[in-house]
């Protein structure tokens, strides 16, 4: 497939443009002038902080939102926000101080926001040593949860900068983020693999046709991540991309993680014995560092009781509830996954999280209940020659981790919980699966849909084999069965999806798109009454 690119920049132009935009949306002249003219404020000084990686918003929930940014030094975060782009009547909130201990990242929680409004915000940093010195502001925007019923549109995908495919200025950078931004979704679910901590980026990759894919490189992305600085460097690398910073400044996110935020196919307690690239072989230690960097560099609301916790839920009007899972932190080891008895070793979501999900689903009054799963259900994902990565372990009745899923699906059925849809990524292609109890080895469940999207800027693989335990039927597959593995983004086989819920009919329309925002597949799901 011939490469397309909305940007045609060389490496120098890309870096210059990236440094100028610093977040995708440049501060307005109105604000810049008023800020510079404010009494006592110095705007040109060596002590002036800067905002090198832009701004982001996330975890929009009711009247609250998270605003994220990073300073280049110790400085206090300040957020001003209004319901108009000129910032008339703007409210100013002083946030926490960005410090070296958290790599100068900072987040601020906006509360008591007006429902159903477009919020415009601008972030600046105040030098704590010289309080009269401020950074130039960087602006962003997001929509709050609707006050009244209206159509909902959101997007999802996963897998950024994997398999050696990084930021290529000649290709226009990570242009799929621009394709999503142009659709102006209410929010975006990043389904995991926000980074590839185990995937170094080289400056050049030879393509099959003899041409060269040219990556921007950094020291932290030139080896596998082991130190906290190297994990942080993976997030900084992605934020060098202008498309991502512009996307972050406009589209609020709901983020989850999977394996590559730490290491491919990892599980708690794993010891690395087969990869000489690692000097730190304790994966639990690596995952703690990875979790810290993930929480520092994403616009996630930190859980008060457990600041490391990632699973959480969101109510987005009476039409939609979202349940975000963590299928990495609480799992047992990757094995042949064939045990006939449930135990700690067969855990995947884990007992505590399963109980939480059951309770959340049971009390939900929303028409649609979306489970954001970082791994697919019925696609077989191997880990070596005999072990498995997710629920699926091959055809037949439920065994191993499938016992946990069977219990959950049975609970949903017996409690008559309606309109549950699963969204996922991980396998690096797009697909639509319908799970039919009439075609399944285990049939005590309501039929449901699972939609797969990705990658965002990584190698394309697949398609994976299906496990018949829960009766999945392929309704759409985005790639041929004989695809050569690890196809580059330049071949166009990068994918994302959107979900639209009609305010009046409550019909859910799921659409899968390619790299350039072209519609590949769409299906209308009628709500069960």
Where are the extended beta strands (E) located within 273-367? 312-316, 320-324
194: Cβ–Cβ under 8 A, 6 or more apart, which residues?
A: 158, 160, 235, 238, 255, 257, 261, 294, 298
Q: Is the pLDDT of residue 21 over 90?
A: no
Strands 368-372 and 320-324: parallel
233: Cβ–Cβ under 8 A, 6 or more apart, which residues?
A: 218, 219, 220, 221, 225
Segment 499-524 mean pLDDT:
98
Least-confidence region, from 32-36, 117-121, 317-321? 32-36
**CB atoms < 10 A from the CB of 475, how many?**
13
Mean residue pLDDT across the chain? 92
- Domains of the chain in start order, with CATH, are 22-143 (2.60.40.380), 152-525 (3.60.21.70)
User: And the tokens for 431?
Assistant: 């697909």
Q: Is the pLDDT of residue 73 over 70?
A: yes
Least-confidence region, from 42-56, 177-191, 359-373, 399-413? 42-56
* Percentages (nearest 5) of helix, strand, coil residues in the chain: 20, 25, 50
16 falls in which pLDDT band (50, 70, 90)?
very low
User: And the tokens for 7?
Assistant: 């940007």
Q: What is the CA radius of gyration of the chain?
A: 23
61 forms beta bridges with: 64
Q: Is the pLDDT of residue 11 over 80?
A: no
Segment 242-261 mean pLDDT:
98
Express each pLDDT in 272-327 by its tens digit. Answer: 999 999 999 999 999 999 999 999 999 999 999 999 999 999 999 999 999 999 99
Q: Is the pLDDT of residue 141 over 70?
A: yes
Euclidean distance between CA atoms 113 and 460, whole angstroms: 40
Segment 23-41 mean pLDDT:
36
CA 99 to chain centre: 25
Give the residue with greater pLDDT, 12 vs 91: 91
Q: Are 423 and 372 in contact (CB under 8 A)?
A: yes
Segment 351-367 mean pLDDT:
98
Burial environment of residue 254 by CB neighbours within 10 A (0 to 12, 13 to 18, 19 or more) = buried
Q: What are phi and psi of 63, to 5 degrees?
A: -100, 20
Express each pLDDT in 423-437 by its tens digit. Answer: 999 999 999 999 999
Q: pTM here?
A: 0.92
* pLDDT computed for residue 55 by the predictor: 98
Euclidean distance between CA atoms 216 and 240, whole angstroms: 9
* pLDDT computed for residue 44 by the predictor: 53
Name the percent of the chain lying above pLDDT 90: 90
Give the largest Cα separation in the chain, rounded: 73
* pLDDT computed for residue 46 by the predictor: 83
Q: Are 362 and 417 in contact (CB under 8 A)?
A: yes
149 falls in which pLDDT band (50, 70, 90)?
confident
Q: Is the pLDDT of residue 254 over 90?
A: yes
Cis link prior to 6 (omega < 30° from 0)? no
Euclidean distance between CA atoms 356 and 352, whole angstroms: 6
Q: Is the pLDDT of residue 403 over 60?
A: yes
47 falls in which pLDDT band (50, 70, 90)?
confident
Express each pLDDT in 208-221 by its tens digit. Answer: 999 999 999 999 99
Name the percent of the chain lying above pLDDT 70: 91
3-state secondary structure at position 318: coil
Q: Is the pLDDT of residue 138 over 80?
A: yes
- Long-range CB contacts for residues 415-419, cutoff 8 Å, separation at least 24: 415/361, 415/362, 417/361, 417/362, 417/364, 417/369, 417/446, 418/369, 418/446, 418/527, 418/528, 418/529, 419/367, 419/368, 419/369, 419/508, 419/525, 419/527, 419/528
């Amino acid at each position: 497939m011939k490469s397309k690119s909305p940007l045609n920049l060389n490496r120098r132009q890309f870096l210059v443009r990236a440094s100028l935009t610093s977040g995708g949306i440049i501060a307005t002249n109105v604000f810049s002038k008023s800020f510079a003219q404010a009494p006592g404020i110095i705007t040109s000084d060596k002590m002036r902080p800067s905002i090198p990686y832009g701004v982001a918003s996330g975890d929009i929930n009711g009247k609250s939102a998270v605003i994220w940014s990073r300073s280049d030094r110790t400085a206090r975060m300040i957020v001003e926000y209004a319901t108009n782009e000129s910032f008339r009547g703007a409210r100013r909130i002083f946030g926490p101080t960005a410090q070296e201990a958290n790599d100068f990242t900072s987040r601020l929680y906006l509360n008591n926001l007006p429902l159903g409004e477009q919020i415009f915000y601008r972030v600046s940093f105040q030098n704590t040593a010289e309080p009269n010195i401020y950074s130039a502001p960087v602006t962003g925007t997001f929509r709050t949860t609707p006050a009244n019923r209206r159509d909902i549109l959101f997007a999802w995908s996963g897998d950024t900068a994997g398999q050696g495919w990084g930021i290529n200025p000649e290709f226009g950078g990570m242009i799929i983020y621009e394709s999503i931004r142009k659709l102006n979704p209410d929010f975006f679910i990043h389904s995991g693999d926000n980074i590839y901590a185990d995937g170094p980026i080289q400056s050049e990759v030879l393509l099959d046709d003899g041409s060269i894919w040219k990556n921007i490189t950094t020291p932290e992305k030139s080896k596998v991540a082991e130190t906290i600085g190297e994990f942080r460097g993976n997030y900084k690398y992605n934020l060098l991309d202008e498309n991502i910073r512009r996307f972050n400044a406009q589209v609020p996110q709901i983020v989850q993680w999977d394996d590559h935020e730490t290491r491919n196919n990892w599980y708690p307690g794993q010891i690395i014995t087969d990869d000489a690239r690692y000097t730190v072989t304790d994966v639990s230690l690596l995952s703690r560092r990875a979790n810290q960097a993930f929480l520092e560099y994403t616009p996630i609301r930190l859980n008060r009781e457990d600041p490391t916790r990632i699973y959480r839920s969101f109510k987005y009007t009476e039409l939609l509830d979202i349940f975000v899972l963590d299928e990495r932190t609480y799992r047992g080891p990757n094995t042949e996954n064939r045990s006939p008895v449930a135990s700690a070793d067969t855990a995947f979501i884990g007992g505590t999280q399963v109980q939480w999900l059951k309770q959340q689903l049971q009390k939900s009054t929303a028409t649609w209940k979306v489970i954001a799963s970082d791994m697919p259900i019925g696609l077989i994902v191997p880990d070596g020659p005999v072990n498995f990565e997710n629920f699926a372990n091959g055809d037949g009745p439920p065994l191993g981790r499938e016992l946990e899923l069977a219990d959950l699906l049975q609970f949903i059925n017996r409690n008559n919980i309606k309109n549950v849809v699963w969204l996922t990524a991980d396998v690096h292609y797009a697909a639509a699966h319908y799970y039919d109890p009439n075609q399944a080895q285990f049939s005590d469940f309501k039929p449901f849909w699972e939609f797969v999207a990705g990658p965002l800027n990584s190698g394309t693989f697949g398609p994976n084999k299906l496990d018949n335990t829960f009766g999945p039927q392929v309704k759409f597959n985005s790639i041929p069965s004989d695809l050569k593995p690890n196809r580059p983004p330049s071949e166009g086989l990068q994918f994302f999806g959107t979900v639209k819920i009609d305010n009046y009919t409550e019909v859910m329309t799921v659409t899968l798109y390619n790299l350039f925002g072209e519609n590949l597949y769409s299906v209308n799901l009628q709500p069960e009454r």
